Amino acid sequence: MQRLPKIVRILAVISFTAVVVLFAALIVNSFQNSGKPLTSLAPEGPSAESIQKLVIPVTAIAGIVFVLVIGAIVFITWKFRERKDSDPDEFPSQIHGKTTLEIGWTILPALILAGIAVGTVMTII
């Protein structure tokens, strides 16, 4: 596999950084209230407060899962990238059939979803 020219890599890093900075600015800006009376971050009433108490932990769990998945993708992409001296016909070792891993990545999401479901049902009732 041919490496990208240095200028293309630099432009890719600059573009990625710009997107991250703009996305962060958008998130920060979305939490600005500016004295407006309607906001979803200030619940009014008992139902809105109970929903708010559910939304915050669910959003936190989703954020943690997002960061872990993106971190794993970046790490795996970096660690197992194709090297200059690698044989293009060589096939990497496979993890199919590793029961512990397969059970782990099946049970963990099920437990997370079960916890969210319990919180949702308790909020509805």
- Tens of pLDDT along 72-107? 999 999 988 877 887 777 777 777 778 898 899 899
Residues in CB range of 61: below 8 A, 6 or more apart: 112, 115, 116
Mean residue pLDDT of the chain comes to 86
CA 97 to CA 83: how far, in whole Å?
A: 27
In terms of DSSP H, where are the helices of the chain?
Answer: 6-30, 46-79, 99-124
Q: Under a CB-based contact definition with an 8 Å cutoff, are residues 58 and 119 in contact?
A: yes
Those residues whose C-beta lies under 8 Å from the C-beta of residue 52, and which sit 6 or more positions away, are 43
Q: Is the pLDDT of residue 120 over 70?
A: yes
Mean pLDDT over 7-11 rounds to: 87
Residue 45 region by backbone torsions, left for phi larger than 0, else alpha for psi between -120 and 50, else beta: left
This prediction has a pTM of: 0.58
> Does the pLDDT of residue 41 top 80, yes or no?
no
Instruction: Give the model's pLDDT for residue 80.
Output: 82
Q: pLDDT at position 98, please?
A: 82
Angle (CA) 103 104 109, round 5°? 105
Per-residue model confidence (pLDDT) at position 37:
64
Q: How far apart (Å, rounded) are the C-alpha atoms in residues 25 and 28?
A: 5
pLDDT for the residue 38: 60
pLDDT surpasses 80 at 31:
no
